Amino acid sequence: MARRKDDAHLGHIVTPIGVAVYPRITGDPDTRFDPDGAWKGELRLEVPRREVQALMIDVQVAYKKYAERQGLKLRKAGLPWKEDPENEGCILVKAKLSAVVRPKNKEPFTQRPVILDSRKNKLPGEELMLASGTELRFSCEIRGYEGFGGGVSLRLKAAQVFKLVEFDSDFGFDDAESDNYPAIDEDVEGVPSDDEFEDDEDDFEDADF
């Protein structure tokens, strides 16, 4: 039996290197809006770069062909990027991958993007805590969709990391060797005096912790 053509598949791209913004592509997937979870993130790219302009052209051409084929109108909101409100001249490219796939008449399966270092060695995505500021590039499948007015999205297949920034995991500790708690000003407003506390020694022993 011949395999049915996937009309939504519009090609494949590899983005230029950019800066990750709130990435959720390692560790555990984001389940805020989907109980199955999703891997997603945004990549900040500078529009004046020639390779960024080439990327935008490739995606726009794919979008136009898909829209004409499906009878859809072109919409700016149908593109997988938006202007970066905090950095003039930059865009935020959005990419996403469902953590769980549920095919019709088949068993569901899980998936996650492949994470590589600059030499294309595979990194343990389950263990990394990749954070904003990481320099990387995305490898994505361009996908067309008809819902919500139609557009194209980027299905994240892999990310190549060139400069890793991980979440701060020191729980607020510094490198001080002393175990003394920092001194505070005794005249801080709002701090209750000893006289304001009632003497409830018996209650403490019966408290339910």
> Could you report the per-residue pLDDT of 151-171, keeping only the tens digit for each?
999 999 999 999 999 887 555
Structural domain boundaries, residue 145: 9-163
Residue type, 75: R
Rounded to 5 degrees, φ, ψ at 100 are -130, 130
Please give the residue that has the higher pLDDT: either 74 or 200.
74
Q: Which string of DSSP letters, residue by residue, matches 121-135?
A: -B--TTT--B-TT-E
Q: Residue 143 sits in a domain of what CATH number?
A: 2.40.50.140
In a domain, residue 183? The reply is no
Q: Is residue 202 part of a domain?
A: no
The model's pTM:
0.77
